């Protein structure tokens, strides 16, 4: 737990080398791109997909950059996960301004991210669960659906198809949240058993 807390404090440390900042800058660029993404999602512009492509590229590149430079660690993972949360929730809420289904998905995403963060804090390291790794992929899938809404009619996506995709996304996020909560309960029971002995 102390090691995890040290890494959390390191996130706020301003004494970083340029080498260490490279991957973090790529991660944080996604937050900067979040502003135009949200605007384009709200006005239903097809440009949302172009901005989303840049965000996904940043998400795919930050980890390999950190590993290549030898700076990979919990700090970078925390920054990466935080950027994922901000981008996914912001875009889903923006889409929810015109379609309530996306607000429901944003609420489910919030629960998934919150359960993941809670489990990570309890176990003292980032929690990598079987289903948890798909949360990010599904969340970005929801953002892609929100971004592509202006093109759905042109490419033949029916409202029923979109509805099925959104329901499946909600189901996957709900199941991974349940898995994280089960991990929290199991870890809590394990701690309680040790204390009662």
Half-sphere exposure of 11 (CA within 13 A, CB side): 16
pLDDT in 10s for each residue of the chain, 197 residues: 556 555 555 555 544 566 678 888 999 999 999 999 999 999 999 999 999 999 999 999 998 998 998 888 888 888 888 898 899 999 999 999 989 999 999 998 888 888 877 877 777 777 666 666 677 788 888 999 999 998 987 888 888 999 999 999 988 888 877 877 787 777 765 443 444 44
The DSSP-derived string for 106-125 is: HHHHHHHHHHHHHHHHHHTS
pLDDT of residue 196: 44
Q: How many domains does the chain have?
A: 1
Residue 125, CA distances (Å) to 108, 158, 181 in order: 23, 42, 16
What's the CATH number where 149 sits? 1.20.120
Q: What distance in Å separates the CA atoms of residue 101 and residue 159, rounded to the nearest whole number?
A: 12
Structural domain harbouring 179 = 2-10+19-196
């Amino acid at each position: 737990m102390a090691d995890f807390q040290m890494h959390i404090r390191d996130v706020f440390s301003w004494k970083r080398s340029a080498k260490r900042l490279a991957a973090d800058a790529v991660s944080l660029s996604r937050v900067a791109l979040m502003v135009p993404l949200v605007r384009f999602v709200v006005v239903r512009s097809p440009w949302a997909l172009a901005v989303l492509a840049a965000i996904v590229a940043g998400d795919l590149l930050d980890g390999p950059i950190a590993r290549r430079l030898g700076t990979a660690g919990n700090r970078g993972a925390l920054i990466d996960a935080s950027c994922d949360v901000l981008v996914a929730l912001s875009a889903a809420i923006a889409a929810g301004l015109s379609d309530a289904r996306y607000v429901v998905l944003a609420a489910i995403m919030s629960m998934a991210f919150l359960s993941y963060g809670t489990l990570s804090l309890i176990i003292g390291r980032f929690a990598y669960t079987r289903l948890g790794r798909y949360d990010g992929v599904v969340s970005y899938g929801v953002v892609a659906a929100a971004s592509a809404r202006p093109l759905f009619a042109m490419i033949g996506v029916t409202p029923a198809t979109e509805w099925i995709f959104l329901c499946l996304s909600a189901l996957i996020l709900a199941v991974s949240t349940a898995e994280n909560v089960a991990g929290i309960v199991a870890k809590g029971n394990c701690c309680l058993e040790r204390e009662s002995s």
